């Protein structure tokens, strides 16, 4: 089949939960494919399962895609304030709103004898040794007999597709190469439920065709649906799109990704402070790898490199450690203003008001090399925004470095005298370091031994950013103010 000029791909989530990592990866692959070829990425919400589909879930999916930067050319309006409206000329993009069109095509297949009302019971569809039959014993009922049966069933009968027999149903899968099924094995499948609602395989075929989708790239779990859809395309007199099936995502133990491997929802990663660019980079490499094994990609590089033909057939592993590693790297690469902007949602509002944004920016800069997740900032940097209280101090740490440390008194007292002699303008490493060196020499102690009592007194913790960074950013008044009570306590 020739490749159409304009690529139109789609992501078609069912809004019955969150945006999952598998869905997000499918969306990303499709997005890249569209954008790198000047094509269109279409978003369609498959909300025909009335019981399980919710507006909340739809909003979460739209929000997750926006967060990942996977903007769509056509689909539900991306502005949450205009929820339910459409952008694009193939709408509506909510499948439930396309029912009229689905019914029109159902009627077409019934009228042409390519589908039939089927009164077969479960027993009638099961053979003597308990196996499900592929073909319905009613596949050749005349239209009149079907109507009579339908009336007898109170107007409630499922509609089956009348499967053409002895045919090969095959496609050249973008990922897997030639895939082939025998039509008889697929059989007369139900595509409209007895309540008149079309099922997934039919609705998706109608909508993909009406939305002029040229390439369907989705998860491998849909492979068994594809021959049904191809048969429906043919029956409807339509040309099927090209199909590709991306491999499953598995955990590091090789089992299908599930909650016991950690969060499977994209939103959970956002909440723990994964950057969207790290998430996207990570998703890109699940089941796809460039030939040169490059790992870190800007968005432009993804567009340059990604080739759907390079998607692996074998399952892709979800390695959380890799995601965390990527996140650290992406945090390190943020420009200072951007670092603060990304951290803001994870910082208490009063932090920004405490000494203004410039101060908050200086504080977070001290953590840029250390953070793995953005949400670690609050537990780490709090002592830059309030004085530690009694309850913040760890008893064992205080004993070890202060109250049971014979040298703590002179270490705090002597340096306090030296530091107090410095003016605000002199409060920098250049002036703070020499007294520390001198004291080390005088007491015959390493720097750590001298710095730790100060660090614990100032922060309640034995770990903090570099000693002089801590002193300088906290500022003269705060440093002296926090240490003074400890000197009194130790003497
Ligand atoms: N609504 C289907 C799903 O979420 C779409 C499958 C497809 O891409 O055709 O699995």
> Ligand 1 center to residue 42 CA distance, Å?
13
Enter the tokens of residue 155. Answer: 């107007």
Averaged pLDDT score across all residues of the chain: 96
pLDDT level of residue 259 (50, 70, 90 thresholds) = confident
What residues form DSSP beta bridges with 3?
A: none
pLDDT of res. 399: 96
> Ligand 1 center to residue 303 CA distance, Å?
24
Inform me whether the pLDDT recorded for 228 exceeds 70.
yes
Tens of pLDDT, residue by residue over 196-205, are 999 999 999 9
pLDDT of res. 50: 87
- Is residue 68 exposed (0-12), middle (13-18) or buried (19+ Cβ within 10 Å)? buried
| CA–CA distance, 24 with 41 (Å, rounded to integer) | 14
In terms of DSSP H, where are the helices of 159-225? 183-186, 200-210
pLDDT level of residue 4 (50, 70, 90 thresholds) = low
pLDDT of res. 2: 41
Nearest ligand 1 atom to the CA of 221 is 10
% residues pLDDT > 90 (the chain) = 96
Note the Cα 212 to chain centre separation in Å: 27
> Ligand 1 center to residue 21 CA distance, Å?
14
Inform me whether the pLDDT recorded for 76 exceeds 80.
yes
pLDDT of res. 176: 97
Inform me whether the pLDDT recorded for 171 exceeds 80.
yes
Own/partner pairs for 143-151, CB < 8 Å, 24+ apart? 143/110, 143/113, 146/116, 146/117, 147/117, 149/117, 149/119, 150/117
pLDDT level of residue 283 (50, 70, 90 thresholds) = very high
Is the CB of residue 109 less than 8 Å from the CB of residue 161? yes
Inform me whether the pLDDT recorded for 1 exceeds 60.
no
Which one-letter DSSP state was computed for residue 460? S
Indicate the fold that domain 271-337 takes in CATH. Answer: 1.10.1160
Indicate the fold that domain 387-490 takes in CATH. Answer: Arc Repressor Mutant, subunit A (1.10.10)
Domains 271-337 and 387-490 share a fold: no
Ramachandran region, residue 130 (left: φ > 0; alpha: ψ -120 to 50; beta: rest): left
Write the CATH number of the domain with boundaries 98-246. Answer: 3.40.50.620
Pocket of ligand 1 (CB under 6 A): 12-14, 46, 204, 218, 222
pLDDT of res. 403: 96
Q: What is the gyration radius of the CA atoms in the chain, in angstroms?
A: 32
Tens of pLDDT, residue by residue over 208-221, are 999 999 999 999 99
3-state SS class at 43: strand
Q: What would the mean pLDDT of 69-76 be, rounded to a whole number?
A: 98
Enter the tokens of residue 199. Answer: 């099922």
Prediction pTM value: 0.94
Residue 484 annotated in active site = no
Catalytic residue among 132, 162, 228, 259: 259
Peptide bond preceding 92 in cis form (omega within 30 of 0): yes
Enter the tokens of residue 252. Answer: 């590091």
3-state SS class at 231: helix
Tens of pLDDT, residue by residue over 176-195, are 999 999 999 999 999 999 99
Inform me whether the pLDDT recorded for 286 exceeds 50.
yes
**94, 95, 218, 241: which to mutate for ligand 1, most atoms within 8 A of CB?**
218
| CA–CA distance, 178 with 272 (Å, rounded to integer) | 42
Question: What separation in angstroms does the CA of 415 have from each of 283, 431, 441?
Answer: 52, 12, 13
Is the CB of residue 257 less than 8 Å from the CB of residue 250? yes
Whose CA is closest to 248, among 283, 286, 217, 280? 286
Backbone angles phi, psi at 102, to 5 degrees: -60, -45
Tens of pLDDT, residue by residue over 94-153, are 999 999 999 999 999 999 999 999 999 999 999 999 999 999 999 999 999 999 999 999
Q: What would the mean pLDDT of 460-466 be, rounded to a whole number?
A: 94
Residue-range domain boundaries for the chain: 98-246, 271-337, 387-490
pLDDT level of residue 407 (50, 70, 90 thresholds) = very high
């Amino acid at each position: 089949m020739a490749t159409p000029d304009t690529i139109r791909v789609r992501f078609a989530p069912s809004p019955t939960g969150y945006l999952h990592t598998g869905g997000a990866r499918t969306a990303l692959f499709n997005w890249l494919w569209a954008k790198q070829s000047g094509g269109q990425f279409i978003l369609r919400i498959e909300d025909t399962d009335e019981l399980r589909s919710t507006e909340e879930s739809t909003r979460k999916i739209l929000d997750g895609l926006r967060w990942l930067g996977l903007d769509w050319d056509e689909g539900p309006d991306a502005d949450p304030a205009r929820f339910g409206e459409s952008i694009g000329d193939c709408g509506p993009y909510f499948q439930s709103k396309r029912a009229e069109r689905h019914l029109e095509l159902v009627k077409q297949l019934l009228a042409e004898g390519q589908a039939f009302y089927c009164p077969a019971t479960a027993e009638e569809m099961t053979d003597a040794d308990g196996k499900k039959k592929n073909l319905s014993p009613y596949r050749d009922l005349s239209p009149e007999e079907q109507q009579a049966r339908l009336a007898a069933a109170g107007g409630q009968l499922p509609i089956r597709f009348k499967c053409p027999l002895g045919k090969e149903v095959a496609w050249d899968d973008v990922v897997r190469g030639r895939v082939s099924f025998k039509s008889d094995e697929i059989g007369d499948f139900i595509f409209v439920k007895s309540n008149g609602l079309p099922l997934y395989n039919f609705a998706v075929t109608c909508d993909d065709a009406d939305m002029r989708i040229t390439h369907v790239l989705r998860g491998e779990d849909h492979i068994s649906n594809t021959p049904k859809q191809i048969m429906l395309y043919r029956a409807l007199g339509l040309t099927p799109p090209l199909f590709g099936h991306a491999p499953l995502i598995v955990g590091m133990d090789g089992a299908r990704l599930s909650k016991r491997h950690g969060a499977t929802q994209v939103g959970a990663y956002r909440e723990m402070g994964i950057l969207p660019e790290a998430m996207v980079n990570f998703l890109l490499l699940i089941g796809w790898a460039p030939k040169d094994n490059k790992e870190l990609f800007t968005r432009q590089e993804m567009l340059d490199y990604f080739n759907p033909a390079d998607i692996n057939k074998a399952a892709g592993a979800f390695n959380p450690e890799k995601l965390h590693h990527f996140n650290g790297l992406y945090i390190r690469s943020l420009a200072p203003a951007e670092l603060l902007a990304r951290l803001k949602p994870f910082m208490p509002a009063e932090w920004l008001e405490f000494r203004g944004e410039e101060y908050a920016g200086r504080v977070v800069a001290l953590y840029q090399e250390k953070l793995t997740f953005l949400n670690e900032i609050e537990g780490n940097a709090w002592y830059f925004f309030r004085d530690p209280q009694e309850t913040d101090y760890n008893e064992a740490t205080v004993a070890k470095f202060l109250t049971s440390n014979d040298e703590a008194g002179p270490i705090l007292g002597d340096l306090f005298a030296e530091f107090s002699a410095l003016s605000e303008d002199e409060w920098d490493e250049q002036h703070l370091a020499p007294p520390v060196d001198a004291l080390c020499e005088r007491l015959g102690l390493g720097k750590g031994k001298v710095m730790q009592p100060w660090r614990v007194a100032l922060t309640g913790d034995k770990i903090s950013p570099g000693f002089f960074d801590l002193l300088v950013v906290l500022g003269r008044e705060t440093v002296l103010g926090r240490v003074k009570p400890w000197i009194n306590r130790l003497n």
